[in-house]
């Protein structure tokens, strides 16, 4: 270990916690007490309901530290949880972080991870109110649990979709998957020749989509401003196809998704061409885009149709129709979940 780095066992758990929490401030009026006691204290806002979700990121399964900087990992760990909060039509308020790190990590490495967590807390206006930091025999594991708030009765469940509701998605799809292909390729090139420099400059957009996804809280705010309440919503972590099927199953509907409407960014199309991958397949099955997939009543079409960052992909149908991708030639192709499974 270089001399300017500090082994974790040199400072002890309590001193580590003090160092990690430095620089975090509390923003939410509902946070009564943050880090430092047996538990945080929260005063829920009258008239609001809460949402609660947890996500685990495991080294070697969800991320590869040979190309994922710790600061980005910290940011992403918060973002993917906040994305689940957004998918309920809610805004995040508090979070806790449980972290285990193996013996090869230094105090400075864990601080870098927390710098990313802090940036995400600032970006999403959420308070870090507690955590647990401990050793592991293996790699790094990061469990984040987030609380959020939503006006009572306004949470968007997966089950609220109705046949004829418009099926909408934020942003664009497939980029995160292609970013991962680029990073994996550069890693192999590096392993083959450690003197090689990673060539990422031409892939900035897709690499960013993979390493530093953003939770689409902006869409939650904009839907409120447009006076639109999504009838159902889910975030896209496993790929569009898998998430459409989840919405259909929960809502008891089918769906028609028009392939020509799938939002694909130019850098995604270019990377797909280079890797000889079908960009539509990347959008359907790639995963990790963390965009929001939601349904709105047909009556809201006027409000949403010109939104620069929301695309109407199709609509829900009766369950009997099934969930289909409609090709440019008008042919229905049943959607299949090829979503990622870690086992």
Q: Which of residues 156-215 bind its own copies (CB under 8 A)?
A: 157-159
Provide the minimum distance between the beta carbon of 166 and its own copies in the complex, in angstroms, as a whole number. Answer: 20
Return the range that interacts with its own copies (CB under 8 A); candidates 36-44, 267-275, 279-287, 314-322: 36-44
Cα 226 to its chain centre, rounded Å, is 24
251 binds its own copies (CB under 8 A): no
Is 288 a residue that touches its own copies (CB under 8 A)?
Answer: no
Q: In the range 14-33, which residues lie near its own copies by CB under 8 A? A: 16, 32-33
Burial of 157 (0-12, 13-18, 19+ CB in 10 A): middle
235 annotated to a ligand binding site: yes
> In Å, how far from its chain's centre is CA 176?
10
Q: Between residue 137 and residue 156, which ones bind its own copies under the rule CB under 8 A?
A: 137-139, 141, 143, 145-148, 150, 152, 155
> Residue 4 interacts with its own copies (CB under 8 A)?
no
To the question of whether residue 158 is assigned a binding role by annotation, the answer is: yes
Beta strands in 136-245 (DSSP E): 141-151, 166-170, 232-235
Q: Which of 28, 71, 100, 180 touches its own copies (CB under 8 A)?
A: 100
Site string for its own copies, 54-93 (x = CB under 8 A): xxx-xxxxx---------------------xx-xx-x---
Task: Tally Cβ neighbours within 10 Å of residue 227.
Answer: 8
* Residue 43 CB, nearest approach to its own copies (Å): 5
Q: Which residue, 52 or 299, is less far from its own copies as judged by CB?
A: 52
Under 8 Å between Cβ of 325 and 226: no
Q: Any idea of the CA torsion for 70, 71, 75, 77, to the nearest 10 degrees?
A: 10
> Does residue 131 belong to the site contacting its own copies (CB under 8 A)?
yes
- Is there a contact between 93 and 31 (Cβ–Cβ < 8 Å)? yes
Residues 102-121 that bind its own copies (CB under 8 A): none
Q: Is residue 329 at the binding interface for its own copies, with CB under 8 A as the rule?
A: no
Q: Which of 170, 148, 167 is nearest to 222 (CA)?
A: 170
- Minimum CB distance to its own copies, residue 276 (Å): 28
> Has 55 been labeled as part of a binding site?
yes
Least distance CB 171 / its own copies (angstroms) = 17
Residue 126: exposed, middle, or buried by beta-carbon count in 10 A (0-12, 13-18, 19+)?
Answer: buried
Token match 């806002």: residue? Answer: 45
Q: Residue 328 gets which letter from DSSP?
A: T
Residue list for the binding site for ATP: 114, 131-132, 158, 237
């Amino acid at each position: 270990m270089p001399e300017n780095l500090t082994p974790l066992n040199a400072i002890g758990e309590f001193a580590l916690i003090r160092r990690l929490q430095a620089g975090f401030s509390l923003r939410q009026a509902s946070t009564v007490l943050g880090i430092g006691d047996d538990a945080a204290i929260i005063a829920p806002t009258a008239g609001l309901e809460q949402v609660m979700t947890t996500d685990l990121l495991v080294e070697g399964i969800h991320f590869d530290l040979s190309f994922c900087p710790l600061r980005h990992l910290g940011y992403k760990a918060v973002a993917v949880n906040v994305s689940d909060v957004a998918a309920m039509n809610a805004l995040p308020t508090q979070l806790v972080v449980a972290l285990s790190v193996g013996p090869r990590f230094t105090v400075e490495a864990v601080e870098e991870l927390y710098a990313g967590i802090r940036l995400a807390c600032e970006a999403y206006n959420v308070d870090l109110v507690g955590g647990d930091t401990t050793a592991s025999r293996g790699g790094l594991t990061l469990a984040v649990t987030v609380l959020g708030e939503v006006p009572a009765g306004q949470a968007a469940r997966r089950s609220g979709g109705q046949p004829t509701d418009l099926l909408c998605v934020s942003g664009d799809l497939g980029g995160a998957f292609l970013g991962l292909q680029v990073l994996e390729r550069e890693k192999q090139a590096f392993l083959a020749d450690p003197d090689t420099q990673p060539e990422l400059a031409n892939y900035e957009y897709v690499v960013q989509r993979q390493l530093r996804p953003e939770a689409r809280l902006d869409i939650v705010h904009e839907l409120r401003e447009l006076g639109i309440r999504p009838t159902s919503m889910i975030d896209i972590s496993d790929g569009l196809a898998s998430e459409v099927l989840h919405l259909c199953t929960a809502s008891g509907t089918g769906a028609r998704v028009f392939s020509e409407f799938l939002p694909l960014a130019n850098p995604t199309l270019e990377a797909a061409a280079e890797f000889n991958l079908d960009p539509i397949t990347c959008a359907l099955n790639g995963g990790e885009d963390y965009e929001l997939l939601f349904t709105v009543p047909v009556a809201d079409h006027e409000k949403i149709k010109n939104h620069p960052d929301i695309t109407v992909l199709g609509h829900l149908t009766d369950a009997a129709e099934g969930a289909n991708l409609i090709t440019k030639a008008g042919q229905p192709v049943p959607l299949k979940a090829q979503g990622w499974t870690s086992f």
